[in-house]
Amino acid sequence: MNVRFTGKVALVTGGGSGIGRATALAFAREGATVVVAGRSPESLAETVKLIEAEGGRASAITADVTRARDVARLVEGVMVRHKRLDIAFNNAGVLGPRGPLVEIDEDAWSAVLATNVTGVWLSMKYEIAHMRAHGGGVIVNMASTIGAHTTRPELGAYAAAKAAVSVLTRTAAREYIREGIRINAVSPGPVAAPMSRLPGESDAERDSRIASIIPIGRVGGVDEIAAAVLWLASPEASFIVGHDLVVDGGATA
The confidence score (pLDDT) of residue 179 equals: 97
Cβ atoms of 60 and 41 within 8 Å: the answer is yes
Instruction: Point out which residues pair with 201 in neighbouring strands.
Output: none
The confidence score (pLDDT) of residue 194 equals: 80
Confidence class for position 215, pLDDT limits 50, 70, 90: very high
216 has pLDDT over 80: yes
The confidence score (pLDDT) of residue 76 equals: 98
Residue 7 to residue 52: CA distance in whole angstroms: 16
229 has pLDDT over 70: yes
Q: How many CB atoms lie within 10 A of CB 235?
A: 8
In a domain, 133, yes or no: yes
In a domain, 228, yes or no: yes
Residue-wise pLDDT for 143-193, tens only, equals 999 999 999 999 999 999 999 999 999 999 999 999 999 999 999 999 998
Indicate the number of domains in the chain: 1
In a domain, 222, yes or no: yes
Q: Phi and psi for 148 in degrees, rounded to 5?
A: -75, -20
In a domain, 251, yes or no: no
In a domain, 253, yes or no: no
142 has pLDDT over 90: yes
Specify the CATH number for the domain of residue 115.
3.40.50.720
**How far, in Å, are 176, 193, 226 from residue 223 at the CA level?**
29, 11, 5
In a domain, 250, yes or no: no
- Which residue range is the domain that position 209 belongs to? 9-244
Residue-wise pLDDT for 34-58, tens only, equals 999 999 999 999 999 999 999 999 9
The confidence score (pLDDT) of residue 195 equals: 81
Q: Which residues contact 181 (CB under 8 A, 6 or more apart)?
A: 128, 131, 132, 136, 137, 138, 139
Which H helix or E strand runs over 36? strand 33-38
The confidence score (pLDDT) of residue 1 equals: 59
Residue 87 to residue 253: CA distance in whole angstroms: 30
Catalytic residue among 5, 89, 126, 158: 158
| 126 noted as active-site residue | no
Residue-wise pLDDT for 59-113, tens only, equals 999 999 999 999 999 999 999 999 999 999 999 999 998 899 999 999 999 999 9
Within 13 A of 201's CA, how many CA atoms are on the CB side?
16
In a domain, 93, yes or no: yes
In a domain, 193, yes or no: yes
